[in-house]
Each structure stands twice: as structure tokens, then as C-alpha cells.
Structure 1
């Protein structure tokens, strides 16, 4: 592992992003719980917000506890992995619930949805898909760069048939009796 000191800007950015994400997820829980029965057109949307907020907060807590050693580290990493897999599946389910009723009727009646609840779920779901897409694209770029670097390094490490290990020059030929 690389234990280089991090820049102050990077640490400050991570702290600010974490604080904002905590506030958004607490807001998701509060908004979903407050308007639990105020979206008859798709009653799963407030539940989606509550569960998404709770799993995100739990995931952040496990992220902070991965600095420990031993069994606690293994357990928190396993729990965090399960939470991430569940959160991705929950995002897919929430996407089908939120986007299926776009745009809902905001005026109270039989088939309406509370405007703030729906718009919050719509924006958060869209932002999470943007983040997942960016992570996927960046991961593919890193994988491609790693493959290209490995291929170039492999080309330099494998000798051709006219060279031998320990040679100082590629033009040096072994003597006839040295085989």
C-alpha cells in the first residue's frame, strides 16, 4: 500500500463531499418517512428514499471503520461489499419506480405524488446513475491503460531470438562455441 501524505485540498474536498452526502441521505430518510403515504401513484418511492438513505449511511459508517485491523476489518469490508451490492440492486429497483411514473400529477387526487418527494427521488436517482457511469468509464480507461502499459513492458522484457539474457547490447551475438 502507498502511504504518501495526502494534499490538504484532497482531504478538504473529501470531507466536504462526505458532509454533503450525509446531509442528502438524512434528507432522503426524512423526506421518505414524512411523505410515506403521499405518493399513491407509486407508493414505493418514499420507501426507496428511506432504504437508500439508510444503506448509504451504513455504508459510510463501514467505510470509516475499515481502518481497523483483524477480524473487524474483514467483517466491515464484507458488510460494506454486501451493502454496495444491495444498494446497486436497490438503485435499479428505484429507477424503475421513479422513471415509470414520469411526470406524475402533483395535484392531490387518487393518482398523485408529493412534488418534493418525487423530484428529490428523481434527481438523486439521476445523479447516482451519472456517478455509476463515470466510475465505470474511469475504470475502463484505467484497465485499458494498464493493459497497454503491460503489453509495452512485456515487449521490452521478452528477448528476441538474436539476444540472450545478460547481454549489454542487442547486436551482440553469441560465439559459435558458446551455445
Structure 2
């Protein structure tokens, strides 16, 4: 597999984003495990944090290891497993978001019927909201880049198509060569 060099800013940004994501997911694992039974309003929220953290970190680890695997069966199997982990993580995130937003607003008073541990619920709510916002922003940016690319191609169409008199200028060049 060829290595494509990146700029220092791009590499630094990728490393910083990965470190922040790892810290968020490890915090989610810790909060989910520590408060497993402290959310009667929606008992799946701590499990959601726990599983999201573990599956996300495993998927990222598989992505990192992909550059180490040689071509062949190990590479194909590793890539397939990593892709399945990413798909599972996304599906789990969608399910967890319905649990988190469905329990809104919980009570943060212990013993109340809709009680959920405050830090655990707020963490799950903020992480879910940030991921949805980042996804929406990314899709919006992709839409505009695609739109601008299409607009540029359409507006440049008259410069890209040859005229009727010449096929990319070859007929005119042949006439000029024979005249000399």
C-alpha cells in the first residue's frame, strides 16, 4: 500500500481529532460502566455509552492496523471486519440516540420515576448531539463542494467541447502544415 504524504497541518489535525475521540470514548466507557444501574428512566443509556466506546475504539484500531497488513487474505479479512465494526458502531449510535433523546427530559433527583444520573445522561446527550451536528455539517459541506464542482464543469462546457470546424484543433493544424 502506497503512503501518501500529508502536510504537517493535516497530520496534526488528524492526530488531534483522533486523540480527542479516544478520550471521549474512554470517558464514555468509564461513565457507562460506573453508572450501569443509575438510569431507570432509560436503562440502555449507560450500555449505549459502554458499547459505543468499545466498538468505536475497536473500529479505529482496525483502521490504524490496516496500513500494517500486507495484501492478501489477512488484509481482506481485516478490512471486512473493520468495515462491519464501523457499520455496527453507526447503527448502535442511531439506536442510542433514540434512547437518549427519548428519555429527554430526565429527572436528576434520585428516586424519581424518570431519574437518570446527571453526568451520564448529559454526556450521552452532548456526545450524540455533537456527532449529529458534525455529520450534518459534513454532509452540508459535501453538498456545496459537489454543487460548485458541477457548476464549474457546466460553466466550462463551452471551453471543453471542440467547434464544428476542428476536432480539438487537429484539422486546423494539418491545414497550416500543408500550407507551409
In the TM superposition, residue 115 of structure 1 has moved relative to its aligned partner by 0.4
State the distance in 2 between where 1:144 and 1:25 align. 34
State the distance in 1 between where 2:142 and 2:34 align. 38
Could you tell me which runs of 5 or more consecutive residues in structure 1 were left unpaired when the two chains were aligned: 173-179
Matches within 5 A, 1:1-20: 5-20=5-20
Determine the structure 1 residue equivalent to 2:90: 88
Cα separation, partners in 2 of 1:47 and 1:4, compared to 1, 3 Å: closer
State the distance in 1 between where 2:144 and 2:171 align. 36
Is the 1:65–1:73 Cα contact (8 Å) retained in structure 2? no
Cα separation, partners in 2 of 1:81 and 1:4, compared to 1, 3 Å: closer
State the distance in 2 between where 1:81 and 1:167 align. 52
Greater mean deviation of Cα atoms: 119-128 or 106-115: 106-115
Determine the structure 1 residue equivalent to 2:79: 77
The structure 2 residue matched to 1:139, chosen from 142, 160, 175, is: 142
In the TM superposition, residue 117 of structure 1 has moved relative to its aligned partner by 0.5
State the distance in 2 between where 1:168 and 1:139 align. 42
Determine the structure 1 residue equivalent to 2:104: 102
Determine the structure 2 residue equivalent to 1:128: 131
SS at match of 2:66: helix
State the distance in 1 between where 2:38 and 2:128 align. 19
1:163 partnered with 2:166: yes
Determine the structure 1 residue equivalent to 2:116: 113
Cα separation, partners in 2 of 1:145 and 1:79, compared to 1, 3 Å: farther
Determine the structure 2 residue equivalent to 1:61: 61
In the TM superposition, residue 164 of structure 1 has moved relative to its aligned partner by 2.7
Q: TM-score, normalised by structure 1?
A: 0.82
Is the 1:66–1:76 Cα contact (8 Å) retained in structure 2? yes
State the distance in 2 between where 1:144 and 1:2 align. 31
Determine the structure 2 residue equivalent to 1:38: 38
State the distance in 1 between where 2:32 and 2:115 align. 15
Q: TM-score, normalised by structure 2?
A: 0.82
In the TM superposition, residue 144 of structure 1 has moved relative to its aligned partner by 2.4
State the distance in 2 between where 1:92 and 1:28 align. 16
Could you tell me which runs of 5 or more consecutive residues in structure 2 were left unpaired when the two chains were aligned: 176-180
